[in-house]
């Protein structure tokens, strides 16, 4: 599980650059590559600052990451049937807390692993495809590389991330299993409250 969360946060680091202002849609693989170089360079440049001040990492995440993830779609998939029966308030609260969970967990992992390298594999897709999987690998010293596949879809001329498969484990499916169990046992409101408490505790650590 520790390895899963380590590589889960690595994939967040490569999808963090503002969308192109050009009329043409940027190639998703090119976006991932350019973003990877930019964010890793930035983190290494501010190594001392971000190592001592987690708030700085949160600021970078809030500014750069969020526009490139469809948290509503991810939240819907994570909650499954519980999303379909949730009211607007519950959907809004869960999406906010789920986003906070990913951002805060990512921020810490990014600081700890800013020297991580990422290798890109050829991406195969049709020119007019509305969905694409960008395949990468994270080298492991003395072991096999960990495959990380990014699932993106085209929304309003911009590519959005909606799932990531890490070493054969889907991010959405992983959270869906744990959250579904809690929602079944405690109810959706209790699940959201528990998630909010976890986020609050993490913010104070």
Q: Which of 86-100, 134-148, 180-194 has the lowest mean pLDDT?
A: 134-148
Q: What is the mean pLDDT of residues 125-139?
A: 86
| Rounded Cα distance, 102 and 107, in Å | 8
Q: Which domain holds residue 152?
A: 2-18+25-204
**137 versus 60: which is more confidently predicted?**
137
Cα–Cα distances (Å) from 45 to 13, 49, 68, 187, 190, in that order, read 15, 9, 23, 45, 42
User: Which of 36-45, 162-171, 190-199 has the highest average model confidence (pLDDT)?
Assistant: 190-199
Q: Say what the pLDDT of residue 174 is.
A: 87
In the chain, the number of structural domains is 1
**102 versus 190: which is more confidently predicted?**
190
**SS3 (DSSP) at 159:** strand
Residue range 53-110, pLDDT digits in tens: 877 877 777 777 677 789 999 999 999 999 999 999 999 999 999 998 887 776 776 6
Q: What is the mean pLDDT of residues 191-197?
A: 96
Global pTM value = 0.77
CATH classification at residue 163: 3.10.450.710
Q: Say what the pLDDT of residue 28 is.
A: 85
Q: What does the chain come to in residues?
A: 205
């Amino acid at each position: 599980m520790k390895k899963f969360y380590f590589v889960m946060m690595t994939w967040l680091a490569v999808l963090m650059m503002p969308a192109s202002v050009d009329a043409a849609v940027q190639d998703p693989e090119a976006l991932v590559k350019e973003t990877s170089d930019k964010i890793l360079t930035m983190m290494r440049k501010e190594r001392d600052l971000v190592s001592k001040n987690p708030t700085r990492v949160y600021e970078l995440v809030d500014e750069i990451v969020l526009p490139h993830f469809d948290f509503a779609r991810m939240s819907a998939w994570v909650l499954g049937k519980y999303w379909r029966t949730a009211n607007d308030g519950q959907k809004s609260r869960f999406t906010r807390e789920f986003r906070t969970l990913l951002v805060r967990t990512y921020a810490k992992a990014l600081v700890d692993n800013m020297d991580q390298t990422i290798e890109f594999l050829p991406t195969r897709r049709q020119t007019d495809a509305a969905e694409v999987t960008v395949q990468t690998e994270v080298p492991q010293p003395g072991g096999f590389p960990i495959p990380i596949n990014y699932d993106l879809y085209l929304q309003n001329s911009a590519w959005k991330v909606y799932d990531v498969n890490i070493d054969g484990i889907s991010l959405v499916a992983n959270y869906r299993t744990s959250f579904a169990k809690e929602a079944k046992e405690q109810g959706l409101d209790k699940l959201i409250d528990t998630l909010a408490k976890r986020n609050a505790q993490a913010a104070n650590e």
